[in-house]
Chains A and B, each alone.
Chain A
Amino acid sequence: MDGIFLKVLNMSISASWLILAVILLRFLLKKAPKWAAVLLWGIVAWRLTVPFSFESALSLIPSAETFNAHNIQFETPAISSGIPAVNSAVNPVLGEIFAPDPMESVNPLYVWTGIASVIWIAGIAAMLLYAAVSYARVRRRVAESAPYEDNIFLCDHVKSPFILGMVRPKIYLPSGISDASREPVIAHERAHLARRDHWWKPAGFLILAVHWFNPLCWAAYILLCRDIELACDEKVVRRMDLAEKKHYSTALLECSTGRRPVSVCPLAFGEVGVKERVKHVLNYKKPAFGVIAAAVAACAMVTVCFATDPNGTVHSMRAASQENLPETADLREKYPEYFELGTFKGLEVYVWQMAENDYRFGLMYGTDREKTPEEKLALKGASAEEMARILSAYDIEDKDIFVIPWQNPISSYMVTEEMAKDPEYISRIRAMLGLDGVSAPSVRETVSVPGNDIPADDSGRISAEEAADAFGIPIVLPKNSNWIADAEYCLVDGNNLRITYHDLIADADCTLSVSKNADLDLPPMDYDEALNETWEGTTAGGQYITVSVRHERNHEKMTLAVWEYKEYQFAIMGEDDSNVVIPKAALNVIENLD
């Protein structure tokens, strides 16, 4: 609903320029036939109702979209009126009053938009209610009528002639109308029917009901009603001589007077003053060809300049430039959730690979926290082309789009840690999405460094090979990157090695400690003896090794696996719901020993 309201608001604002132009042109085209003015109002109506428009380099409309739904919902509120002075005056104030509060999910202008759209709907309802009630009253009044001829009826209870009905319109005349006035009046009403004014006027009112908040639309409707009457008069008197014109003018005057004045209804505004009409009728001459040509040219000019949108204002410049990509509308249907994201903290593009050259992309709003596995698993995998198109729908700078590699568990294709952190890998993927190929890509840490007792500096950090050299034995964690991630080898001292890693299956940070010729310095813990287990492993050399597995009494998840090999003591500690992942990691380490 808010979206429709904003669309109507933007249409109303851009049509206002057209209305101003038409009002100006009406003055310039005083000599032109009035049907030209009615035609111009038709262009206004088209602009007010049809949600799409053509772009034109000649467009004089400053902006096709003053209020952008996306800006209002997520960004610092701002308008783009197309007039720099207006923007620079309004936007700082908007930004100050409706500054987004980081603690709130939406910015305040969005809330106000919601309230405004409710008021808008209420206004439409009031307008339609007025129409329905007054229509019903007239219907009741004309029930008591007598047929005169054809579709013409006499009625005691009406003051001036009018047409009622859309499909089978009937002309109602006041029964007291003088014989002299009757024929001119019937001619006028028949001209209305021939011009289909009994359709255009209600149609205009319907459009006004939707745009009731726009004062210029009220002005346009009032002027439309006047122009319709004048155009209708022109049609009637076109072939009349002076005597007939005088006769017609007298009928006009009689129908406007001679009756008691009624209370002035604020909505009976549509008609034009009888004096103006009499003058118009008496002075009417067939317009010269030159005048008609000028009027047609003026209509065409107004259409091109004010009924079209300025080039390249549709939502985003990027969208317009990527025309050969899949239609955004289809994408909105396929990935609706990717089009409704807040960009306050940037956008996060998660990328995973199903095969070597099969990249999939998921999109999420930016946050400071790491996304949960559930959130990531819910992502639909779009192609690079599709994601590029989706991103182009956002008004966001490339540097605020973060590309984050992710090992999707459903994929057997491994994205290793090295690949994920390789700037070249990231920039290649950013290039696929049409993002900055050159600027330094920003990669967010996907996993925080576990353990608090790790030295803050990197002085002790070594590679697996260096660890093997320093200790004389290979110390190897499982190679499956769906299982073990972020392994970091750290030499605490000459006899102590600490390897931290993230166990993806247990979703836990674990520590493998190895000590040579010394006892392991294990933290004091209260183990539940009843849960003690032993596991058997075999080294590459065929040696059996017993792994003792213990669980913390008050924190059953906390698991410790301890074993000895030659002069080395091993321990893996971490949270393990399954009770098997840490022991299995231990057996894997053992398998790789000599």
Chain B
Amino acid sequence: MADIQLGAVEARFADIIWASEPVTSSELIKLAAAELSWKRTTTYTVLRRLCDKGLFQNNNGVVTSLLSRREFYARHSRKYVDETFSGSLPAFLAAFTSEEKLTAGEIAEIHELIDRAGE
């Protein structure tokens, strides 16, 4: 089986399914709305993605797991990955930092700057 990786939010959603499976998709929508304030479409989107990854299956509206929670975490570390996506934030949002390309040398330089501060 291919390596399955989840983002932290996906993992929270997966926990809901593991905790209540077997669960109908309409019941799942209610649970996700209560816990994560998700809309119906968001729940469907994420559910389809996790089914595609081979973690869950949806048979005629009943969602069950292909891997139990214990099996999953035995095989995968809890280290979450960042989803890749193209494009960056709109220029007018107040963000923490921008995504910029820093070379390894530059990162090392800034690290040194921080370490040496106050000396």
Find chain A residues with CB under 8 A from B86 CB. 262-263
Q: Do B82 and A159 touch (CB < 8 A)?
A: yes
Q: Please state if B84 and A260 are interface contacts (CB–CB under 8 Å).
A: yes
* Cβ of B114 under 8 Å from chain A: yes
| A553 contacts B by Cβ under 8 Å | no
Complex Cα distance, B103 from A166, in Å, reads 35
Binding stretch for chain A, among B4-12, B18-26, B55-63: B4-12
Number of B residues near A (Cβ < 8 Å) is 47
Is the CB–CB distance between A274 and B102 below 8 Å?
A: yes
Query: Which chain B residue shows the least CB distance to A197?
Result: B94
Task: Report the minimal beta-carbon distance from A45 to chain B, rounded to whole angstroms.
Answer: 14
- B92: interface (CB < 8 Å): yes
Chain A residues near B118 (CB-CB < 8 A): 242, 246, 282
Whether A143 pairs with B42 at a CB distance below 8 angstroms is yes
Query: Cβ of A176 and Cβ of B87 under 8 Å apart?
Result: no
The digit string for A234-257, where 1 denotes a CB below 8 A from any CB of B, is 000000001001100110110111
0/1 interface trace, chain A 136-151, chain B, CB 8 Å (1 if under): 0110010111110000
Cβ-Cβ contact count across A and B, 8 Å cutoff: 171
Given contacts A161-B96, A273-B100, could you give 10 more A-B pairs where the C-beta distance is less than 8 Å? A137-B87, A159-B85, A175-B8, A252-B96, A256-B97, A257-B102, A268-B88, A271-B97, A274-B97, A275-B113
Which residues does chain B contribute within 8 Å of A198, judged by CB atoms?
93-94
**Is B89's beta carbon under 8 Å from chain A?**
yes
**A202 surroundings in chain B (CB, below 8 A):** 92
Residue of B nearest to A181 (CB): B96
In the complex, whether B83 has a CB less than 8 A from a CB of chain A is yes
Q: A7-15, A47-55, A71-79, A184-192: which lies at the B interface?
A: A184-192
A189→B117 contact, CB < 8 A: no
CA distance A158 to B7 in the complex (A): 11
B45 → A minimal CB distance (Å): 7
Decide if B46 touches A144 in the complex (CB within 8 Å). Answer: yes
A144 with B42, Cβ < 8 A, contacts A162-B89, A256-B98 known: yes
Q: Which residue of A137, A145, A192 is within 8 Å of B36 (Cβ)?
A: A145
Among B9, B41, B85, the residue within 8 A (CB) of A145 is: B9
For the complex of A and B, 6 pairs with smallest distance between CB atoms:
A156-B7, A271-B98, A175-B8, A162-B95, A161-B96, A205-B92
Instruction: Write out the residue numbers on chain A whose beta carbons fall within 8 Å of the beta carbon of B101.
Output: 261, 264
User: Do A275 and B94 touch across chains, with their CB atoms under 8 A apart?
Assistant: no
- Asked if B113 contacts A157 (CB within 8 A), the reply is no
Taking CB atoms, residues of chain B closer than 8 Å to A147 are 36-37
Query: How far, in angstroms, from A154 to B80 measured CA to CA in the complex?
Result: 12
Tell me if A201 is interfacial: C-beta within 8 Å of chain B.
yes
Given contacts A141-B85, A176-B80, contact A160 B9 (CB under 8 A): no
| Interface assignment of A265: CB less than 8 Å from any CB of chain B | yes
Residue of A nearest to B8 (CB): A175
Selected A-B contacts with CB under 8 Å, 5 pairs: A162-B96, A175-B7, A205-B92, A256-B102, A275-B109
A174 and B99 alpha carbons, distance in the complex (Å): 12
Residue of A at shortest CB range from B100? Answer: A256
B-facing mask of A260-304, CB < 8 A → 1, else 0?
A: 111111011111011101110010000000000000000000000
Given known contacts A256-B99, A274-B110, is B88 in contact with A143 (CB within 8 Å)? no
Most buried by B among A252, A262, A269: A262
Residues of A within 8 A of B99 (CB): 159-160, 256, 259, 261-262, 268
* Residues B107 and A257 in contact, CB atoms below 8 Å apart: yes
Which residues from B are CB-within-8-Å of A562?
none
B91 at the interface (CB under 8 A from A): yes
A275 and B88 contacting across the interface, CB-CB below 8 Å: no
Residue from A176, A242, A253 within 8 A of B7 (CB atoms): A176
B87 touches A131 (CB 8 A): no
Closest to A269 in B: B91
A residues in contact with B114, CB < 8 Å: 246, 249-250, 253, 278, 282
> Which of A138, A144, A163, A277 sits near B38, CB closer than 8 Å?
A144
Known: A146-B8, A246-B117, A268-B88. A201 touches B93 (CB 8 A): yes
Q: State which of B9, B38, B41, B98 has its C-beta within 8 Å of the C-beta of A268.
A: B98
